[in-house]
Amino acid sequence: MKSEENKVVKNTEQQNAPSLKEILKAEEAELKAKQKAEKLKKKQKVAYDINGKVIPDLNVKHVRGIESKKSWYGFYFVLPWIIGMVLFFIIPLINSLRYSFANVIPEEGYMQLDWVGLEHYVYLFKKDENFTTNLLGAVGDFFTSMPIVVIVSLILALILNSNFKGKTLFRGIFFVPVIVATGVVMMHLTDPFGGFGAIVQLSSSVTEDAYSAVGTSGGMDFTELLNSLELPTDITAWLSSMITDIFNTIWTCGIPVVLFIAGLQTIPAQLYEASKVEGATKWEEFWYITLPSIGQTLLLVIIFTLIELLTQTSNPVINQAYALINNTEYGISSAMLWVFFAIIGAIIGIVIFIYSKLCLKRWE
């Protein structure tokens, strides 16, 4: 029975097919006409109320929805930045990724690429002995100096945030070096005899993170100063390395201190008053009020410090990559930097994950 019915339906369909199509066409045309009319309505910039009547006096822009308008303008607002970002960051980034899979031969105005696949990456890990040691050194350095920087700057911020005479002066003392010590000024502070390395001359942006060079060469030559004291050589060496370390730490601490102070200032004073009434010690106050309150700031500082430590010029991996660039080995250096950045990304990811699991959750 069913099949018969189907047949009947099919037959009728076949018979009515042209008319059905016509109906469909007509419907489509109607729809189009409606859409056109709507478009026209929109173009006319006239506002309508629910019944489709024209509202004469209202400003049309607002009736058509602030959100759509905003997002359209938003595009114009963000456009200059996007153009710049694509030109000077994203295209170079993609190109450097392409270089890492190829042998790069510089030609006039462009780069000749001979694809070699993963060869550079394999070379880095299997043949280049320096790379793995440098990589481990960089990561190891980071794990020893990051906690020091974070703890020292937290202590400094705690002190600078309390009320005492001359706190503005001391804040200035810790912040002015951050402002002043860039580029040539930093170079002169540390190395007045003009021992500019080839790396520094090659790129202006290198100088941005030259803090690390403090005390390591020239400048106020502490090693020689210490030598003149005629102490045993072991002690001299130890002292000079320690002084260098202290300098490195202090000059990296500038921005973290400012961040911490800012975080500390947002803790409501009532919390401390309450804890005082309850009879908490300063120590308890720190662990139960201060630290949990600046949890987010602490995370921000950790990330800032991490980026600063891992991308500064004194970093052995960056140094090695730069030497390679000077030898026009663009392929290998790109591969090297990509490996390094992948590791930085992974470290930051892990740090954020562990931190938010262990600390932030508990403090909340």
Partner 1 sequence: MQATMSKADQRKLQKLKLKASRRDQYKRFTRSKGGNFFYTLFLILFGLFSVLPMYYCIITSFKPLDELLVFPPRFYVISPTVASYLTLPSLLDNLAVPLSRYAFNSIFVSVVTTFFHVLVGSAAAYVLAKTNIKGKTVIFAVVQMSLLYNAYTLEIPRYLIYSGLGMIDTYWAYILPMIPSSMGVFLMKQFMESNVPDALIEAAKIDGAGSFRTFWQIAMPNVKPAWLTLTLFSFRDLWSIQPGGTIFSEELKTLPFAASTIAQSGIARQGCAMAVTVIMMIPPILVYLVTQRSVTQTMSSSGIK
Find the part of the chain contacting partner 1 (CB under 8 A) among 41-49, 134-142, 143-151, 166-174: 166-174
| Nearer to partner 1 among residue 74 and residue 140 (C-beta) | 74
In the region spanning residues 25 to 54, those forming contacts with partner 1, defined by CB under 8 A, are none
Asked if residues 329 and 313 have their Cβ atoms less than 8 Å apart, the reply is no
- From residue 80 to residue 119, what is the string marking binding to partner 1 with x (rule CB under 8 A)? xxxxxx-xxxxxxx-xx--x---------xxx--------
Instruction: Specify the 3-state DSSP secondary structure of 221.
Output: coil
Which residue in 203, 150, 135 sits closest to 342, CA to CA?
A: 135
Instruction: Dump strand ranges (E) for the chain.
Output: 47-48, 54-55, 102-106, 111-115
In whole angstroms, give the CA distance from residue 46 to residue 37.
Answer: 13
In the region spanning residues 193 to 212, those forming contacts with partner 1, defined by CB under 8 A, are 193-194, 196, 202-209
Site for partner 1 contains 232 (CB under 8 A) = no
Structure tokens at 81: 């930045």
Structure tokens at 184: 């040539």
Site for partner 1 contains 274 (CB under 8 A) = no
CB of residue 236 vs partner 1: minimum separation in angstroms?
A: 13
CB of residue 23 vs partner 1: minimum separation in angstroms?
A: 38
In whole angstroms, give the CA distance from residue 44 to residue 38.
Answer: 10
Asked if residues 181 and 251 have their Cβ atoms less than 8 Å apart, the reply is yes
Of positions 135, 149, 150, 247, contacts partner 1 by CB under 8 A: 247
In the region spanning residues 136 to 165, those forming contacts with partner 1, defined by CB under 8 A, are 152, 155-156, 159-160, 162-165
Identify how many contiguous H helices and E strands the chain contains and give both numbers: 18, 4
Site for partner 1 contains 124 (CB under 8 A) = no
| Nearer to partner 1 among residue 137 and residue 197 (C-beta) | 197
Q: What would the DSSP string read from start to end of 34-93? A: HHHHHHHHHHHT-EE-TTS-EE-SS-HHHHT-HHHHHHHHHHHHHHHHHHHHIIIIIHHH
Asked if residues 150 and 305 have their Cβ atoms less than 8 Å apart, the reply is yes
CB of residue 322 vs partner 1: minimum separation in angstroms?
A: 8
Contacts of 51 by beta carbon, 8 Å cutoff, 6+ apart: none
| Nearer to partner 1 among residue 10 and residue 361 (C-beta) | 361
| Nearer to partner 1 among residue 26 and residue 184 (C-beta) | 184
Q: What is the CA radius of gyration of the chain?
A: 33
Find the part of the chain contacting partner 1 (CB under 8 A) among 32-40, 130-138, 216-224, 232-240: 216-224
In whole angstroms, give the CA distance from residue 267 to residue 252.
Answer: 25
In the region spanning residues 320 to 339, those forming contacts with partner 1, defined by CB under 8 A, are 321-322, 325, 330, 337
Site for partner 1 contains 177 (CB under 8 A) = yes
Asked if residues 176 and 276 have their Cβ atoms less than 8 Å apart, the reply is no
Of positions 131, 138, 174, 320, contacts partner 1 by CB under 8 A: 174
Site for partner 1 contains 246 (CB under 8 A) = yes
Site for partner 1 contains 262 (CB under 8 A) = yes
48 pairs with which residues across the strands?
54
- From residue 285 to residue 324, what is the string marking binding to partner 1 with x (rule CB under 8 A)? ---------x-xx--x------x---x------x--xx--
CB of residue 28 vs partner 1: minimum separation in angstroms?
A: 29
Contacts of 213 by beta carbon, 8 Å cutoff, 6+ apart: 186, 187, 190, 191, 313, 314
- From residue 59 to residue 78, what is the string marking binding to partner 1 with x (rule CB under 8 A)? x--x---xx-xxx-xxx-xx
